[in-house]
Amino acid sequence: MTVDQREIQFLEGRQSRLREFYFTLKVMWEFIKGFRTLHFVGPCITIFGSARLKDGTPEYKQTCEIAGKIAKHGFTIMTGGGPGIMEAANRGAKEVGGRSVGVNIELPFEQNPNPYMDRSVDIRYFFVRKVLLLKYSYGFVIMPGGFGTLDEFFETITLIQTKKISQFPIVVMDKEYHQELMRYVDKMIERGTVSPSDKDLFFYTDSVDEAVAYLHENTVDDFQLTVEKKRWKPFGWLFEK
């Protein structure tokens, strides 16, 4: 039985107590593995985007640029660890001498770890992966992407809206790509399903420099954040790296 089949079986409803306890242990181990791998990565900016936009596309090039400029401010660039936009972000950080990490999801297709990460962890469950991508980040960049990118964008903004996490800055890049999404946000405001002020929870731009300045102003200044990383010594017996 493959990993995917086991997960599908779990979602079919009530399982035996033993099966559900075993699943809980696996989830706990995934969290511990992620915490121990990422404990020393420093303050991060997470960049979300499509795995399908490869090297040579304008989106890939722009992602390299914005990641490099963010990394020059001392932030660690964090991604989902895969190809496409994720690879571009990790690559952009590495090419300027910055730190680059990833949380890769185990999938039967499309997702393989990219070679531009200083540190990465493979995670089986999407919900564990999303927690890790948020936990270590002080800001987020939404590049063009598909369902997964939109899921990450709306989950992050919902956590901020409901005050489950602090009001970390979110940048939505590429106005042409996201114009229909922005019209839908306006429609939600018009219909009263979100508040007009919720549109202030993200910054919508085409400018890399504006995006980087917005992230810096709303992290370092607002959270009294220092991006000078103390080099604490990892404990091997805790599986820290």
Instruction: Say what the pTM is.
Output: 0.88
Rounded Cα–Cα distance for residues 169 and 21 (Å): 37
Question: Where residue 211 falls among pLDDT bands split at 50, 70, 90?
Answer: very high
The predicted-structure confidence for 215-230, as pLDDT tens digits, reads as follows 999 987 666 666 655 4
Domain membership of residue 237 (yes or no) is no
Give the model's pLDDT for residue 19. Answer: 85
Q: Find the CATH number of the domain harbouring 106.
A: 3.40.50.450
Domain membership of residue 236 (yes or no) is no
∠ Cα 157 159 160 (to 5°) = 65
Q: Is 194 exposed, middle or buried (0-12, 13-18, 19+ CB in 10 A)?
A: middle
Domain membership of residue 21 (yes or no) is yes
Residues above pLDDT 70, as percent of the chain: 85
Rounded Cα–Cα distance for residues 20 and 37 (Å): 26
The predicted-structure confidence for 71-82, as pLDDT tens digits, reads as follows 999 999 999 999
The predicted-structure confidence for 86-99, as pLDDT tens digits, reads as follows 999 999 999 999 99
Rounded Cα–Cα distance for residues 84 and 64 (Å): 11
Give backbone dihedrals phi and psi of 185, rounded to 5 degrees, phi first: -60, -45
Domain membership of residue 173 (yes or no) is yes
Rounded Cα–Cα distance for residues 50 and 24 (Å): 30
Domain membership of residue 235 (yes or no) is no
Other CB atoms within 10 Å distance of the CB of residue 230 = 7
Give me the domain span that covers residue 137. Answer: 3-223
Give the model's pLDDT for residue 2. Answer: 45
How high is the mean pLDDT of the chain? Answer: 90
- The total of structural domains in the chain comes to 1
- Is the pLDDT at 159 greater than 60? The verdict is yes
Domain membership of residue 51 (yes or no) is yes
Tokens of 170: 């979110």
The predicted-structure confidence for 8-63, as pLDDT tens digits, reads as follows 666 677 788 888 898 899 999 999 999 999 998 989 999 999 999 999 999 999 99
How far lies 93's CA from each of 84, 86, 97, 137, in Å? 15, 11, 7, 15
Give the model's pLDDT for residue 8. Answer: 61
